[in-house]
Structures are given as structure tokens and as C-alpha cells.
Structure 1
Amino acid sequence: MTSSALDASVAEVPDWREIRPLELTPILSAALDAFYENGFHGASVRDIAKRVGVTVPALYYHHENKEGLLLALLELSTRDVLARADAADAAGGDDPVQRLANVIYSIVLRLTNRARMVALESEVRYLSADNRQHHSAIRKNIEELVLAIVKDGNRAGVFSATDAAETTRAVLGMCQSIPRWYHAEGKLSPESVSNKYVAIALKAVGCGATVRPIRAPRRRKS
């Protein structure tokens, strides 16, 4: 998938307070299933093509190789979370507390709802050095967004993070660990986990304020 196609696929970001299925091409959908079930190393292009019902040459017409499939999925996933985080940040206006709450909520909501996509992060090691660097640069934008919020909160006197950069990494690292223990069949809903981690993140940056629990938008009845 080209960069423009990736951008277009996340151009219309739904409300950051909810998760809707990502629109994947049949090839990328099959690749995601194969990578999730067998890992990148264990999945084969032939199997992916068979799942879609196309020939291997037809698959290569759309993606250069198996690594290209992985990279396309990783970029789609990362650009999606960044777009959602940007929207959540904007919804917080000029209030660093609400901005951080919104962004952490949007990140955790994705982590608890998109297990297959999130699991792909463990396959980054199979990317070439150039592709791995490209993917890392996109992910860095998320860290920089949260860091900017923490610094704004420090300047406003509502946060007291003595080391903004390390605190940011700690908060994001805490969030990234969620897929290791979270199960959709458990007692905690994605929304509940997201709000719990908002509270933890605010404490981590030294914020004494509390925010109202964030809830999914109400749907209008047609």
C-alpha cells in the first residue's frame, strides 16, 4: 500500500472515544490473520494469497514482498493511533489535564480493542533497518505529542513531572504493557481500563486534579 493510500485510509478519523473496525484491503486482512496466527516468520506469502483467493504474482502486484505487507499493516496501525491521539489532544482545548486524559484514553482504548493489530508490534524486528527506522520515526510522533502535553502541564503548574521525557516514556510504556494481561473476556471493559489508566497517568505526572470518566459518544436514533 502506498503512503497516500495509508493516509487516505485514516483521513476520516472516527470519534476518538470509540473504536470502529479498520478498513483493510482483502490482502492486508488476510496478512493480518496469518501474522497473528503464525507470526511473521511462520506465515507464507503463498498461504496469504490462498486466503484471499489470488495468485502469488497478483499479490506481489500490490505489495513488493512479505515485509511490505507487514510494513503496510504497521504503518496503518501507527498512523491510526496517531490520528486518534491528535484528535483527542485537540478536544482537550488549552487544558493540559484534559488533553493528557483524552490522549491516554484514546491510546488505551485502541490497545484493548485491537489485539491483532497491537500484536504486530512484536514483529517489528523482522523489518529491514531502513523500514524499522521509518516505522520508529512515525511512532516517535506519539511520544512527542504526550511529551508536549506534559511540558505544557508543567509550565501551567498543574503537573509536577521533574523529568518530563522520562515520565512520558514511563506512561507510554505502562500503556504498552496492557496487551500482555488484558483479555476481552475478562471483567474489565475497554472503557473501564482506559479510564483507570487515565487516573494512573495523571498521578504519574504529579497532577492532583481529577477528570470525569470519559464515555463513548451517544448515538442518535435514526
Structure 2
Amino acid sequence: MPAKAEVELDMEQVEGGRWRIFGANVLPPILACALEAFEEQGYHATTVRDIARRVGVTVPALYYHYENKQALLVELLMGSMGGLLERCEAAVAEAGGEPVDQFSAIVECIVLYMASRGSQGLLDSEIRSLEPENRVRYIALRDRLETTLGEIIERGVAAGDFTTEFAEESRRMVLTACNAVARWYHLDGPVSPEEMARRYVSIALGAVGYRPRSRARKKS
């Protein structure tokens, strides 16, 4: 099968609240072994021969499916970011029109994703290993998520829900904190992904200076 750079690695449907649900993340053997090798050794220290050995195929057989090692990294990164973006867009759409609800939904979604798909979240550190053209494509996807969150914060400030004076810095801080969950969170730890997401939503609302609107203000 030919490589597909924008393959969706999460195959579950995300509509109807299913963006919160994560089944087993079953990658094709070649991608699974490439991910394992990149995590253990780093992209540059990993060879195609090493990946082929882990899969149990010959190097020519691996090249039949993927043009080179870069193609494997691209498919993993684009699939991971594409999956996160799809879930976040579904979460925001289902949250309704209030900025605070949209903000809470997108933070919850990112934390759930990083807690449940930690391996692919960690791979984000290999962006530096992408060739220029591939890096541009990946960053374009990432920028869509950053722009969405930034616009939500700005609308929240305009509506009086958020009191932060530093919308851009707040956006950057919230995204950095949520993405970092992949680096330390363990599924077998004492806190579930759902509870961790709930805690991060509370923390993130504090970071943007959330101030609940009064009933009178909501009616006016």
C-alpha cells in the first residue's frame, strides 16, 4: 500500500461527543515499529534497517510501502496532528457559541488526546527532523489549532468572560501546558485522563482570567 501522508491514525468517528472516546490505537506494523524506534532512539539515530528488523521484513519490502524514513515520520506526525485537529474542531462545534464553553472543550480535548495518545504526542519533538516542505505542511495544521484557540480567547475577552490582558501569551501557555501532558502522564497512574482533563480545564480557565457572567449580564 502506498504511503498516505495525511492518514488519520485514529479511526473512530468524532461526531456526537465521540471526540472524548479513545479506542485501542492500532497502527500498521511498519508505523508502529517506526514510532517505537523514534521514541527509543530519536529520528536521526534510527535507520530503515532497524525499523525493518523490528517489523520482521526486508529493507526492500519496507521501501515498497514507504519511500524512505522521512515518509514514515511525515505519516506519523501528520496523522497525529490531523487526528487531534479533527477532534478539537468537533469539540468546539459541539460546545455551542459561548467562548467559555468552546475554550473548555478544546482544552479538555487536547488533554484527553495527549493522555490517551501520548506516544504520538511525544513525537511532536521531532518536528525539527522534518524536511522544509514537510515542516511547512505540518506547521500549517498546527497553526489551525493555535488560531482557533486564540480566536476563542479573544472573543472571550471581548464578551467579558476572560479578563486576561495577554491573550496571545495565555494561548501559548495553555497550549504548551496541555501538550506537555504527553511527556509525563501514564495511563496506569492514579488519575484518569478524564479527571486530568477536568483539572486542566479549571487551571486553564484561571490562566485566562475567567469571570462568570451574572444572570443579569447574560439576559442583557
TM-score by length of 2: 0.86
Q: For 2:209, what is the secondary structure of its paired residue?
A: coil
**Cross-structure match for 1:30:** 33
**Structure 2: runs of 5 or more not aligned:** 214-220
Equivalent runs, 1:85-96 vs 2, <5 Å: 85-96=88-99
Deviation at 1:147? Answer: 0.9
8 A contact 1:10–1:83 mirrored in 2 = no
Number of the residue aligned with 1:6: 7
Alpha carbons of structure 1 residues 23 and 185: separation in structure 2 relative to 1, 3 Å: closer
Q: Is the 8 A contact 2:8 2:83 kept in 1?
A: no
Match of 2:127 in 1: 124
Q: Is the 8 A contact 1:100 1:146 kept in 2?
A: yes
- Name 2:192's counterpart in structure 1: 189
Q: Aligned residue for 1:39?
A: 42
1:83, distance to aligned residue in structure 2 (A): 0.4
Deviates more, 1:188-197 or 1:79-88: 188-197
How far 1:161 sits from its partner (Å)? 2.6
The answer to whether the 8 A contact 1:109-1:191 is kept is: yes
Query: Taking every aligned residue pair, what percent have the same amino acid on both sides?
Result: 42
Of residues 154, 160, 171 in structure 2, which corresponds to 1:157?
160
Q: Please state how far the C-alpha of 1:10 moved relative to its aligned partner.
A: 5.4
Equivalences for residues 106-145 of structure 1 within 5 A: 106-145=109-148
Structure 1 SS opposite 2:210: coil
Gaps of 5+ in 1: 211-222
Equivalent runs, 1:166-205 vs 2, <5 Å: 166-205=169-208
Q: Could you tell me how far apart the structure 2 residues matched to 1:147 and 1:110 are?
A: 19
Matched residues, number:
209
Taking the aligned partners of 1:122 and 1:113, their CA distance within structure 2 comes to: 17
After the TM superposition, list the runs of 4 or more consecutive aligned residues in structure 1 that deviate by more than 6 angstroms.
none
| Segment of structure 1 superposing worse, 179-188 or 77-86 | 179-188
1:65 maps to what in 2?
A: 68
Partner Cα distance (2:57, 2:44) in 1: 21
Q: CA RMSD, aligned part only?
A: 2.2
